[in-house]
Each structure stands twice: as C-alpha cells, then as structure tokens.
Amino acid sequence: MTTIISELVERWQIIANFGFQKNMPNMKKIFVSIILCVSLLKASADEGMWLPMLLGEQVYNDMVKKGLKLTKEQLYSINKSSLKDAILIFGGGCTGEIVSDQGLIFTNHHCGYSAIAGASTVDHNYLRDGFYALSKDQEIQSTLTVQFLDRIVDVTKEVEDGVKGLGWADRIKKLPDVYKAITDKVADKENGLAGRIYSMFKGNQYIMYVYKTYRDIRLVGAPPESVGKFGGDTDNWEWPRHTGDFSVFRVYGTKDGKPSEYNKENVPLKPKHFLPVSIKGFKDGDFAMIYGYPGGTNRYETSYGIKLKNEAENPSLVGLRDVRLKFMYEQMIKDPAVKLKLANSYAGIANYWKFFDGETKQLIKYHIYDQKQQYENAFSTWAKGKAEYENIMSDYAKNYAAWTPYSKMRQYINEGIVGSPLAGAASQLISLEDKLLKNNAAAADIKKATDAATASRKSFIEGEDLISDEKILAATCMMFYNDIDKSQHPIGFYESLRNAYGDLKEESTFKKWAHDVFANTMLLDNAKWAAFVAQPDAATLQADPAFSYAAAFVKNYTGKYASLYTAFVNKNNELGKSYMKGIMEMNPAAVKKMYPDANFSMRVSYGNVKSYNPRDAVHYDYVCTGKGILEKYVAGDYEFDLPTKQIDLFRKKDFGQYIDKGRNDLVVTFITTNDITGGNSGSPVIDGNGNLLGLAFDGNYEALSHKIAFDKDLNRTICVDVRYVLWCIDKLGGASNIINELKLVR
C-alpha cells in the first residue's frame, strides 16, 4: 500500500510541477495523460538493461527483493575484483564469461561458430563432429579477440564543451574529433587499453568505457553442430527449446598478464574474477541475473518509426532473405562441403530473417503503434507553449514523409542486389574504378588498390557457391524490378536487359541473364582477373557484367538517395535528443527507473526463472529436459539428428553428477524473465550468490517486439543449462580435464 501511495504522490507532484493545479476543469484529462506517460516510460516487471556501475538505490533494492545476495561493490568495482571482471566482449558482437582461474571462457556455439568453422576441414570437420582439447597444447589458434571492461568515465561535459555552440550538422562532423581527443588520453597500446565513448539517452549523456583487448584466443571445445544447433531454423526463437548452444575458449597473454598476439610462449590469463559454476539446480521463481553486452534497442522509438518498420523495412528484409536462404539451403543439404562453406553466412542471414518476421507480427498484435501514438499525443499536450519541444512531433512527421518513399528501395539494395555474394564482391570494386578514372593517379596507389581487390576476390572465391548465388542474382534482380517504383530504377539497366534477353515479366529472362553474368565475369575467371590486374583500366572493369550490374544499382543509390538517407538519420537523431530530453523533463519522477537504450555497453538485467502461458489453455514449463530431446530426435534429419552416443546415454539416463534429481532427468535449457537483446548471446545467467546457472542464447517468439517494446507478461530469455553444458563436455566429449578446472557449486 505504501508503494502505491508513493507512486500517486509522485504523479500528483508531476502535475504540481507543471502548474496544472490551477486548471481544475482539465485536471482529469491531464491526470490520465500523465499516468499514461509514467506507465509507458517507467520500467515495469523485469524490464531494464541497467548500467551496473550506475545502479540507483531503487533498482538495487528491487534486485535484493527478488533474491540478490551480493553487494553493489561485488557487482561492480574499480578497485576490487567484481562480477564485471568476469564478463567480456567476445569477438565482434557477443558476450562471454570467465569460468576458471586459467582464463577459460564459456560463450554460445553460434558466437564461436566462425572460429569452429574456420578450424574445420572436410577431413577434420569440428563443426560437424565437435572438438575438445584434452590438454592445453591441443587448443586451436583463432583470429578472435576479447575485451575486458577496465573502467568507465562520464565524459558528458567534455563532449558538450567540444561541440558547444555548433548547429546539428556541424556537431555531427565535430563529434569524432572530440571523441578521439578524449579517448587518446587513456590509450595505452602496450597494455591493450583503449577508450570507446557511448551516447546514452540519445545524446543526452556520454560515457567512456575503457577496455583491455586480448588477441590470443584459442578454441578449447565445442559440441557437434547437431547439438549446438539442435532444432535449426525450425526451433529458432521458439520455446520449448533443446539446443546445446555453447562453446569453450581460452584467453592467453604474456607471462606478466599483458595482451599479445598469438605466441607459443603465452600463458593462460589469470583473471581478476571468474564465475563459480552451480550444478545445484533451481526452481520456478528463483532469482536470475544476466550480465553482458546487449547490442541495440530502440525503446523510445516513435510511432512513425514503427509504421515504417511494419509496412516497408521488415517485410522487405524478410522477403529478400527468404529467397537467399531458400537457394543456399537447397545446395547445403546436397553437399557437406557446401554446407561447411556456407554455414556461417547462412546462420547469420537466417537468424534475423525469423526475428524481423516475428517482430512485425508482435508489434501489430500488441498495438504498439497505437500505444506510441497515445504517448506522443500526451507529449504534444505537455509541450504546448514550450518552444524547445512543441514542434518535435510535427518535425518527425515531415522527416518520415520525406524519406519513406525510398526506404523500401534501400532495403532492396542492401538485402537484395548486394545480397548476392557475387554482386556484393563486385560492388567493392567501385573504389578501384574511382582510382582508375582519376587523372594522373599514382601507380603506387593503383597497385595498392588492385592488391586489395585481389585479396578481397580471394576471400570471396573461398566462400562462393556458384549454383545458389546464380539463382540469388536472378531472383533478387527480378524482385527489384517488380517491387520497386520504376522511377527509382537505375537508368537504362532494365531496358538493356530487356533488349538483350527478352520480356522482363518472365523469370526465364533473368535466369538467362544471370547465367551469362556468371559465365563471363572476370571475378570468377582466374585468367581474366590476372590479365586485368597486370594492366588495370577502367574500361575493362566497366565492361565486366558483374561489375556493371552492381555498380549500376549502387551508384544509382549513392548518387541520388544516400544523401537523403543521411539527412533523414541526422534529423531523426537531432529530434531524438530533444525528444528524450523532453521526456525526462515531463516525467522527472520516472527518471529514476529509466535506462538508456542498449548500445553494446555493459548492462545487467534481473528477473526470475519463470514458466508462462503464451495463449489460452497453453502452459510452458520453465525447463526442457532430455526427455524432450528424445521426443524430437529424428535420425538423419538436417535439424533434429544427434550423435548416436548421446542418444544411447540419454536412454540409459547416464547423467552423472549433472542429473536433476527432482526430475530424474538432465535439464537442457530453461527460461527467465530477463530483458536482453542481440549481443547478449553467450551472457552468463547468474544466481543471487554470483554463481553461473547457464548461458543466455535466445528470446521467445511471442515477445520478438523486445527491441521496441518489452512485454512484461510474455518476455522470456532462453538459456542453455550449465549442467547440460558440462554433461556434453564430460560425458559426451570425454574432456574431464575441462571440468576439473572449474569451481563447482553443489
């Protein structure tokens, strides 16, 4: 009751602050608007990706009420070891955690996927068969890096002083120099230290994170792909889930603990902190905390942005990726070598193909557009007479009206035209063409550009599947013709294609054209390429059918529309900064429970292990078990096959110390109410005492609107249980050496 009274007092205080108490006839209407504003902006239930170094008392106290047993300093400390020291940025876009005093890293299988695939060959296919190093000298070198957070510094004043008095366009131009001047002060190459500045609350606050980067990261273990991706695209973003999404790496440094390139003399890193691993289990309702690096949310998005996303951007992306995946899949299931070659690319395309399809469906289903409009109406009411804010929503409307006609075309360039690997590779040669056309270009500059092009071509060839790509090229070119306004087509391209190949309404026309492109491009002909780089000239490059195709579309976009998109983004950012400032002024009491959008800076979220009811008469338990794996298993199936050894062990219930005694089974995955997003892949799920329970790896389909709007009832984070991880390493992989270096909590 005290909490309810306090909230009502806070809300009435907001009204008093605005001076509305004098306008009694409108009080009821205004009161409703204010309550709407507070309820929309105040984090509810387990919503929130909080900065662990800046936890307010209210947020920390909420964590304690839910079951946290640690102090603030145990969560984040500069002077002492704390949980933050065990959490790292893994590769370019995931999270990992240190789980031993010898620098052992746990992360997701899909985060380590490229390294596992890169270490694999047809004869030693670690992606297919799995891999575990039984000693440190068997660990495999990778090109990965990891970054530890050293400290954070609020640099808002320095940034704002650096751009003081500048208009928005000049501010944007100056910001990189201002950032550099600030981060240069903390740069320490010898110790791997570098600063990175993050904009918080849409440019209303700036925080510098100082990271220490380690560059010698070695593959220690990974389950077979059938385990690590069990369920494939069918189960992606779905619960129930039975995926063993984990991989194991180790970070190495010099003998004195400094970062270093790969060197046989390097030793495992002695971390400041590592996570004990709990095999005690948990029950429905237990506290769960997730640390990590969520990549991006836009919780303060406007109704205009949601409308554009629902009607143009997401449907275009989904439709184009659907075509690309279809043709890749056709070849991957036919040939293991092609599957290995395309595996990493396919996984990346497929993951967000399903996400954006689900996001649109959830945004529409839960009327998020309508909710945003209601809030914006309340904001506009409050903003009347305030010069800084009263035109924000009308300016948003004008900005979206100016860009919307071209949004779909931009998606068709990015996801369609250069979605063909050949066209994508050809488009990269535009910079070489620029140098070849330049008067009096230095021979050294041209040589440098052709060498870079040759290296890029080599990388493209290594990953190219001709059959699927030719189909992609034909299909996406035809889709652009049919779906994009003719006024936005590159001048003359489709007319020339019609003259040479026939009716553009016919699929066969585009297939014939694509066949000729593949047959004649020098990008796929070693002799032609060698002759070109020996005597490079613009005319030869421009005559190449793959280059002329890609260049026609890319140049059409960059020449006519790229500046419009830049202006649209810049104006949106300018409006967003003011809008966010206005939101915080309008709701001062709610600011204590507001958090900045995710931007790949360290965050902590908290919640509970929790079952849920996704729809009428359906209940989802909070765990999945080995029983469910046996029910899904289909021998030889592309998505639901598993190693014979695993099936035998499951049928014998040979689960060892990892068994859940209450269920007499092995818990494979579980769900929590935590608020996460992309970038949290591999994040540790931690209990109230700081022990590792599992690894976060996915969200549930019913709440895929989470980048824009958190659903307090249906949002769930899908996690692989660490007991299943350890069982796979120990019982399935035979790598008890890895288990022996962990600190197990029983």
- List, by residue number, the catalytic residues: 110, 245, 681
Give CA separation, 606 vs 273, 292, 532, in Å: 20, 12, 58
Residue corresponding to tokens 């400290």: 151
Q: Which helix (H) or strand (E) holds 581?
A: helix 562-586
Measured CA to CA, the distance from residue 706 to residue 704 in angstroms comes to 5
User: What beta strand segments (E) does 600-730 contain?
Assistant: 603-608, 612-615, 618-620, 623-625, 667-672, 684-686, 692-699, 717-721
Tokens of 393: 């929503």
User: 699 and 676 in contact (C-beta within 8 Å)?
Assistant: yes
366 φ, ψ (degrees, to nearest 5): -100, 15
SS3 626: helix
- What are the tokens at 586? 């309008």
Nearest Cα to Cα of residue 95 among 75, 83, 78, 112: 112
Cβ contact 302:369 at 8 Å: no
Give the C-alpha separation, 217 to 260, whole Å: 10
Handedness of CA 461, 465, 470, 473 (dihedral sign): negative
Q: Which of 246, 258, 298 is nearest to 94 (CA)?
A: 246
Selection from 74, 605, 540, 504 nearest residue 292 by Cα: 605
Count other Cβ atoms within 10 Å, centred on residue 536: 18
- Cβ atoms < 10 Å from Cβ of 661: 8
Helix residue spans in 366-465 (DSSP H): 368-383, 392-411, 421-427, 430-437, 443-463
Fill in the amino acid letter for 226: S
Sign of the dihedral defined by the CA atoms of residues 434, 437, 440, 442, in that order:
positive
- CA–CA distance, 412 with 402 (Å, rounded to integer): 18
Handedness of CA 566, 569, 572, 574 (dihedral sign): negative
The closest alpha carbon to 609, from 72, 110, 46, 76, belongs to 46
Give Cβ neighbours of residue 216 (< 8 Å, ≥ 6 apart).
141, 251, 252, 253, 259, 260, 261, 262, 263, 266
Listed residue (404, 417, 422, 418) closest to 481, CA to CA = 417
Counting every residue written for the chain, the total comes to 746
Query: Which segments within 503-636 are labelled E, that is strand?
Result: 603-608, 612-615, 618-620, 623-625
Q: Taking the CA of residue 238 as centre, how many other CA atoms within 13 Å lie in the half-sphere pointing to its CB?
A: 13
Is 732 in contact with 131 (CB distance < 8 Å)? no
Distance from C-alpha of 59 to C-alpha of 590, rounded to nearest angstrom: 12
d(CA 591, CA 594): 5
